Structure 1
Amino acid sequence: MTDARGAESTPSVLTRSIDPEWASALRPVSGVISKLQEFLDGEVAAGRGYLPAEENVFRAFAAPLSRVRVLIVGQDPYPGLGHPIGLSFAVDRAVRPIPRSLWNIYKELRSDVGVTPPSHGDLSAWSDQGVMLLNRVLTVEPGKSGSHRRKGWETVTATAIHALADRGGPLVAILWGKDAISLEPMLGSVPVIKSVHPSPLSAGGGFFGSHPFSRANASLLSQGASPIDWTIPA
């Protein structure tokens, strides 16, 4: 990343995991990221802390921008200690029980493409294949869902989404719920698969049976790209 003068700065633990392609794409919001670093440092100093762990905050940006084939947008990290790992909807392998929204995603995964759900909630296998699991807000105060909204993260992730749209295909976006669907105008001509959120409160209203995984692969194939292997190793 660069500092406020445009000079290269030494990466902090917070931003060290960002791939160089993403660092370039996020350069216009480097000042916002610096202010977010100050905010998070203040949360630690005040004894509140934040999740996920510092080194995982930008984990969704660890793979090159050029490799992203599918974008799945979440809201903000799970607020439970030890749960979030920097990938939307995913949790640490040791977390039990699996969050209900993720379990509903697993149910649809089995119904749609026949993948047997694993006993854990780590979606790194998807991330490794070019599925960007991006939360709209990248941090949260432990125990307080949504507590870091409107602190600046929305500007950072909007810049990332615009960068993907500007890059173009092969790419497909999967948007679950009103918050995610509201981002559709940012995506331009990128194919979008959308439905209600997989939350237990809404999944029965159109998430189940929406076939997002097979539809995403069909879209990738139509764009001349390889499909995603949605299998998650046990």
Structure 2
Amino acid sequence: MPLPDIGAWRDLDFFASDWPGIEAALAQDDRDILPPATQRFAALQLTPPENTRVVILGQDPYPTPGHAHGLAFSVEPDVVPLPRSLKNIYMELQNDLGITRPNGDLRDWAKQGVLLLNTSLSVPAGDANGHKKLGWQRLVHQVLKRTSARPTAYILWGKSAQTLESNILPGDHLILTSAHPSPLSASRGFFGSKPFSAVNTWLNSRGEQEIDWARNSEAA
């Protein structure tokens, strides 16, 4: 199927050099691939490069059908219970800013300039990291270089995301690193890291509008 409208991201070399091969590989994979093809590039659709102020890197989409919809850590609003990593993110948000959100849909963050990008944009259902070697990482490398052409806040949770820091061009950035919010590591430095208030303090110091981490309004 043709690429959706991803705005200026379409200029990245990835879409000419790498995407055709990945698209062909996906077409030949007879498993249930998540998220649905129409949502695969949702992060780029909702947060164009000119609007990106914060980048949060995930890993691969949730492998449970009905959960992933193209944004790192986000799930469809009717998903209950929340995935454990997202539950821990919400616990830290509550501890940091006293915010409780109504569901796991983070599209409102994306529309405020928070790029919620997974390092792999597809996964076979039930097979976590099943597309880790498909070639998506080259897209992430180019997105990081593109966004870091101007001051940007980066939230890198866990070693997998932190290894990508070398793709961030030098600049007046905010780079926050901590343990991953997964249950296996959240207690090793994720809890208490206060990334949400740190981002808003940084944005405020630059005279930019803060992220309203509480706003959901059904993520519209």
In structure 2, the residue corresponding to 1:80 is in which secondary structure?
Answer: coil
Deviation at 1:113, TM superposition (A): 1.1
Alignment of 1:177-192 (within 5 A): 177-187=158-168, 188-189=170-171, 190-192=173-175
| Whole-Å separation in 1 of the counterparts to 2:39 and 2:53 | 21
Give structure 1 stretches of 5+ with no counterpart: 1-11
| Whole-Å separation in 1 of the counterparts to 2:123 and 2:137 | 13
| Whole-Å separation in 2 of the counterparts to 1:136 and 1:110 | 26
Question: Which string of whole-angstrom CA distances, capped at 9 and with x for unpartnered residues, describes residues 156-189 of structure 1?
Answer: 11111111112x12x1000100001111121133
Alignment of 1:1-234 (within 5 A): 12-13=1-2, 15-19=3-7, 21-24=8-11, 26-43=12-29, 46=30, 48-62=31-45, 63-118=47-102, 120-166=103-149, 168-169=150-151, 171-187=152-168, 188-189=170-171, 190-233=173-216
Larger radius of gyration: 1
| Whole-Å separation in 1 of the counterparts to 2:215 and 2:119 | 24
Question: Which string of whole-angstrom CA distances, capped at 9 and with x for unpartnered residues, describes residues 40-84 of structure 1?
Answer: 1111xx3x1310010111111113201001000000000001110
In structure 1, the residue corresponding to 2:18 is in which secondary structure?
Answer: helix
TM-score (normalizing by structure 1):
0.88
| Higher relative contact order, structure no. (Cα contacts within 8 Å, ≥ 6 residues apart) | 2
4+ residue runs of structure 1 moved beyond 4 angstroms? none
Q: 1:28 to 1:99 in 2, by over 3 A?
A: closer
TM-score (normalizing by structure 2):
0.93
| Whole-Å separation in 1 of the counterparts to 2:120 and 2:105 | 19
| Whole-Å separation in 2 of the counterparts to 1:158 and 1:141 | 22
Residue type of the partner of 2:187? G
Residue type of the partner of 2:153? V
Contact 1:175-1:195 within 8 A present in 2 as well: yes
Contact 1:17-1:55 within 8 A present in 2 as well: no
What is the aligned-residue identity percentage? Answer: 41
Deviation at 1:96, TM superposition (A): 1.4
1:8 paired residue number: none
In structure 1, the residue corresponding to 2:33 is in which secondary structure?
Answer: coil
| Whole-Å separation in 1 of the counterparts to 2:14 and 2:126 | 32
In structure 2, the residue corresponding to 1:204 is in which secondary structure?
Answer: helix
